[in-house]
C-alpha cells in the first residue's frame, strides 16, 4: 500500500492540578477555542471540546506522525501557559478509543458536561470511563 490511512477518534480526559476549580465558566468558551487552535497547529482534528471547572474532555484525532503523549503534552503545555502562572494541569490523563458509530454520542456527552455532572462527580466519571473501556487501574493512584 502506498499511502497510510487512519480514522482514530479518541476521547481525551484530564484535570487541573489537584482538581482545583480554576476554569471559571465565563472563560471556558475562550479556553475551548484556544485548545482548538493548539490542535489545529499540530494538525490534530477536533470533533468536540468541553468540560467543567476542574477538567477537560476532548474528542480528537491525532495524526499518525504523533504519539498520544506528545500530542497531549502540546495541548496541556500551550493551554496552561495561556491560563497563567498559577494554573497547572494534573500530570496524568485518560485516552479512550471511540468507534465511528459512537462519535456523535461522545460529542453530545462532551457538550452536555454541566448536565452530566449534576449526577456524577469527576472522580466517579473517570472511574466509570476506565471501567467501560476495560482499563485496569489501582484506585489509590487514579486521581493522584
Please report, for the chain, the start and end positions of each structural domain, with discontinuous segments joined by +: 9-137
How many Cβ atoms sit within 10 Å of the Cβ of residue 56?
25
Cβ neighbors of 113 (< 8 A, separation 6 or more) are: 50, 51, 52, 57
**Domain 9-137: which CATH class?**
alpha beta
The pLDDT assigned to 1 comes to 66
Which among 12, 52, 20, 16 has a CA at the least distance from the CA of 36? 12
- Please give the share of the chain, as a percent, with pLDDT higher than 70: 99
Q: What is the pLDDT of residues 49-90, one digit of tens each?
A: 999 999 999 999 999 999 999 999 999 999 999 999 899 999
Percent of the chain with pLDDT over 90: 88
Contact 10, 46 (CB under 8 A): no
How many CA atoms lie less than 13 Å away from 26 in the CB half-sphere?
0
Amino acid at each position: 500500500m502506498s499511502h497510510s490511512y487512519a480514522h482514530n477518534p479518541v476521547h481525551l480526559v484530564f484535570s487541573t492540578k489537584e482538581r482545583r476549580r480554576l476554569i471559571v465558566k465565563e472563560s471556558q468558551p475562550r479556553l475551548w477555542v484556544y485548545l482548538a487552535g493548539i490542535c489545529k497547529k499540530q494538525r490534530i482534528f477536533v470533533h468536540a471540546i468541553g468540560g467543567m471547572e476542574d477538567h477537560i474532555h476532548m474528542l480528537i484525532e491525532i495524526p499518525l506522525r504523533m504519539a498520544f503523549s506528545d500530542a497531549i503534552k502540546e495541548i496541556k503545555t500551550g493551554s496552561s501557559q495561556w491560563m497563567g502562572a498559577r494554573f497547572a494541569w494534573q500530570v496524568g490523563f485518560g485516552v479512550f478509543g471511540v468507534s465511528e458509530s459512537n462519535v456523535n454520542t461522545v460529542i453530545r456527552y462532551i457538550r452536555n458536561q454541566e448536565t452530566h455532572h449534576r449526577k456524577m462527580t469527576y472522580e466517579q466519571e473517570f472511574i466509570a470511563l476506565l471501567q467501560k473501556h476495560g482499563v485496569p487501574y489501582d484506585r489509590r493512584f487514579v486521581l493522584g
